[in-house]
Structure 1
Amino acid sequence: MTVSARALLDGIQAELGPHDDDNRLIPLITAGKAPLAVFAAIAAEEQRITSSDWRSFHAIAARAEEPHARVFFGGLPPGERQANGMLDALVAAAGPDQGMELPRAGCQAYPAYVAWLAMHAEPSAAAAGIYSNFTAWGRYCKAVAEAMRTHYDFDDLACAFFDFFAAEVPEIEQRALAAIQAGLDTGRLKPNEAHLYARLFQNYELMFWNTLADEFST
């Protein structure tokens, strides 16, 4: 009997959930203990990440043979472009990133992995791996946006990037489930691959935050 897309995602998230709190930067921000410079660093890194992911999602959508996978990945690039434009206000509020002239490898490992998935992964399995981490990413962004207003006096424009990703978008979930279910039904999606992609995706996501935590907590 073929496992359902929902059951696969629930199983992946049960595996990943205990590690979501391994993010060491979020507690610093929510307590108001991170320096203002951390927001400049996040903005600088995310400008590169959103541009890279925009290209990666286009690439995997173009490569996907199954229509539901094309729809899921084809719907992601507009959000990356919109989010990228929101970072200008954060840069204006936080100032330029003075910490590094070059991007941080620990932060850019994440989009590099997304690019690898775009070129090599079965699209429906990549959809499962990527979407499985959306909940944690959204929760991180919500926490950051709340702390920015509470502890750092940022206005709505400066917080817009995080507000954008904190918002729930049911259409994205529906498209992800359709892509995953189609992959399962056709046998293209191997559940063990989806678990692997999700676990690595989470590791690279945490690497982004913890690279900055190590830099700005010393």
Structure 2
Amino acid sequence: MTHPARDLLQTTTADLAPNPRSNPLVPRIADGTAPRSTLAALALEQSWVIPADRRAFEYLAERSLVRDPEAAAFFRTLAEGEALAEEQLSTFAQACGVDETRTAEHEPLPGCQAYPAYVAWLALNASPADVVLALTANFSAWGGYCATIARALRTHYGFTDEVCAFFDFFAEPSPELESQATAAVRAGLDAGRLDERRAYRYGRLLQTYEAMFWNALSETP
């Protein structure tokens, strides 16, 4: 017998699954036709996204601690994951020819940074349980993209496992995070602090900003 929280997570994730045509870049990476300069741009943009998301998740964990401890546990795990991913990202960036000077001089693309800006907005304004539901739906798409990229980097670009670790990390399913998300959504439903329509709206916007990220990158030379 399934629980309403698990059902809600599954149906929301399915309903918000992106149209494959909304991401023009990952298919090009998958077949090896994306230039290495675009991979470098991906690393540079992620060097802004990852620390921003980590701080947003840390704030959400702190804000949730008293009233929504289940959500707080979920956000703490996310923040810890972002910290680890940040370390792995530097290895990928170096393999793409990105050094400290280039990182310092990089001008981030608005289309790529809309996503972390909205995550920060959610951290300040949204109900924690709503954010858990919206993020979980989005992470499913992001994880799929990372799995595809990790395979392509090895197959077409000759990158090592160490270089691909950033994408492997996000591609790997996390039973712990899934369990924490279910517990947080269940607690939100039980306490009447989860608004399904509002959470769906947040998830839809996250998916839209995710698509903007990849479209902006696809236009880099």
TM-score range for the pair, normalised by the shorter chain length: over 0.9
* CA positional deviation for 1:18: 5.0
- 1:69 paired with 2:74, answer no
Aligned-partner SS, 2:34: coil
* CA positional deviation for 1:117: 0.4
* CA positional deviation for 1:14: 2.6
94-103 or 168-177: which moved more?
94-103
The 2-side partners of 1:109 and 1:46 are apart by 12
Q: Which residue of 1 aligns with 2:161?
A: 156
- 1:49 paired with 2:54, answer no
The 2-side partners of 1:20 and 1:102 are apart by 28
Give 5+ residue unaligned stretches, structure 1.
none
Matches within 5 A, 1:87-166: 87-96=89-98, 101-166=106-171
Change (3 A) 1:43 1:18: closer
Q: Which residue of 2 aligns with 1:25?
A: 25
- 1:178 paired with 2:180, answer no
Moved over 6 A (4+): 97-100
Aligned-partner SS, 2:194: coil
Contact 2:70–2:184, Cα closer than 8 Å, also in 1? yes
Give 5+ residue unaligned stretches, structure 2.
none
Contact 1:110–1:201, Cα closer than 8 Å, also in 2? yes
The 1-side partners of 2:132 and 2:121 are apart by 13
Change (3 A) 1:137 1:188: same
The 2-side partners of 1:23 and 1:128 are apart by 22
Aligned-partner SS, 1:41: helix
Instruction: Summarize deviations over 1:13-70 as a string: whole Å, max 9, x none.
Output: 2322252542111111011110001111111111111100111001011111211011
Compute the RMSD of aligned alpha carbons: 1.7
The 2-side partners of 1:53 and 1:150 are apart by 30
Q: TM-score, normalised by structure 1?
A: 0.93
Aligned-partner SS, 2:106: coil
94-103 or 120-129: which moved more?
94-103
Letter aligned with residue 72 of structure 1: F
The 2-side partners of 1:170 and 1:116 are apart by 27
What is the identity percentage for the equivalent residue pairs of Structure 1 and Structure 2? 46
The 2-side partners of 1:78 and 1:102 are apart by 27
* CA positional deviation for 1:11: 2.3
The 2-side partners of 1:129 and 1:66 are apart by 16
The 2-side partners of 1:95 and 1:158 are apart by 12
Letter aligned with residue 125 of structure 2: H
Contact 2:53–2:119, Cα closer than 8 Å, also in 1? yes
Letter aligned with residue 11 of structure 2: G
The 2-side partners of 1:177 and 1:21 are apart by 30
Aligned-partner SS, 1:132: helix
